[in-house]
Amino acid sequence: MKRFVIDPWGFFLLKDYKKLIGQYGIEPLTPRMLSKLPEPNRLMRRGIVFAHTDFEKIIDCILEGRDYYALTGIMPTHETIHFGNKSVIENMVYFQEHGARTFVLVADLEAAATRGISLGESRRRALDFHIPAYLALGLDPKKTIFYFQSENQAVKNLAFCFAKRVTISEFKAIYGSVDAGRIMSALLQAGDILFPQLEKAMPGVIPVGVDQSPHLRLCRDVVRRTKRNFGFVLPAGLYHKFTPSLQGEMKMSKSIPGSFIGIPEEPERVRKKLMDALSGGRKSVEEQRRLGGRPERCMIFELYKHHLIESDEELDEIFQECRKGTRLCGECKAYAADLMERFLKDFGRRMERARKLVPKLTFVR
């Protein structure tokens, strides 16, 4: 089997998600597991969360009402986010609503060590945009514990303790290449992932884009090696597919203009970007009516599936109509733009409210 090195700081691209299964402890999320989850959300039902590590124990916690946590980190590399960043947040909301203690951290030290972004700049971006955006997308401010890596002494201490347990060759095997910033960030991320267990050892789930899976592998290795010192429970990972770029590459990215739809983004620009997006349409209307469209390779359909359409019946109807050639790209793109506009308007309103809550939040130190 060909082995991949997934570089979480690089531009990780892959044609076929199945190729990752079996590597890094990445297991498929089976229909049987999904059927046990109460009220699976859109992302779970549609295979957008497609793989996991050790997620069975989280399902058990949910079903048995036992303590567990969900944790994710924000690296404020940009002022705002885009549609590709939204799925992880939605799953954090799912776990919060299903009994998880929830933790969201700002990876300001990682942003400094790997992207050269100052701590002050990260802080400003996080408070102005990223944290209120997480609230606007549904996290409950009263039930979420926030911190900045730079202010969390316990996390930094964990990173130093873990440093003794990992070798450079292991880093190389997991991450491909190493430098000081990456090593420090990876150890810190292991600290983040285990921080909630300092109070009490318990299962935790880390929902992330699959490019972050190497961090889970390192963290789990560290847990095994520090069993006697810390007694942490092995953390679970839940892996998301990326939202494809509007041109059909593997993922939306802020580094490629026109590949993404921002949150927020001006309605006119959204419309223009959607009109320019890759669709599964044919060369002419006549041909499309005759042969039907190809929703399976259409980026508008991907947006419906990942983000815009909640009802599985409606999604299936669109798929069938497109296939039959009764639904044409122009009207379909206009519909997507309407849904997008509605979402963004609503998001704007929620943001206004969420921004007022930020000064009241307390951050772990």
Binding positions for ligand TRP, rule: CB under 6 A = 71-73, 75, 105, 107, 110, 189, 192-193, 206, 208, 212
| Shortest-Cβ-distance residue relative to ligand TRP | 73
Q: How far is the CB of 206 from ligand TRP (least distance, A)?
A: 5
With beta carbons less than 8 A apart as the criterion, state whether 83 and 261 touch. yes
Q: Which residue lies nearer to ligand TRP by CB, 189 or 259?
A: 189
Residue closer to ligand TRP, measured from CB, 152 or 259: 152
Q: Which amino acid is at 8?
A: P
Categorise residue 308: left if φ over 0, alpha if ψ from -120 to 50, beta otherwise: alpha
Strand 236-240 with 262-263, pairing: unpaired
- Rounded Cα distance, 277 and 300, in Å: 7
Nearer to ligand TRP, 65 or 116 (CB): 116
Shortest spacing between CB 276 and ligand TRP, in angstroms: 28
Evaluated on CA atoms 47, 339, 244, 217, the torsion sign reads negative
Determine which helix (DSSP H) or strand (DSSP E) holds 192, and give its type and residue range.
helix 180-194
- What minimum distance in Å lies between the beta carbon of 105 and ligand TRP? 6
Q: What is the crossing angle of helices 329-357 and 267-276, to 10°?
A: 140
Least distance in Å: CB of 176 to ligand TRP?
Answer: 16
Q: How far is the CB of 153 from ligand TRP (least distance, A)?
A: 16
Whose CA is closest to 344, among 289, 267, 268, 284?
267
| Minimum CB distance to ligand TRP smaller for 196 or for 293 | 196
If the CB atoms of residues 81 and 340 are measured against ligand TRP, the closer one turns out to be: 81
CB of 88 or CB of 270, closer to ligand TRP: 88
Structure tokens at 152: 């969390």
Alpha carbon distance 19, 1 (integer Å): 9
- Rounded (10°) CA dihedral 198, 203, 205, 211: 80
d(CA 213, CA 151): 25
Task: Label the pairing between strands 144-148 and 363-364.
Answer: parallel
Of 221 and 273, CB closest to ligand TRP: 221
CB 58 within 8 A of CB 205: yes
- CB 208, min distance to ligand TRP, A: 5
Closest separation in Å from C-beta 149 to ligand TRP: 7
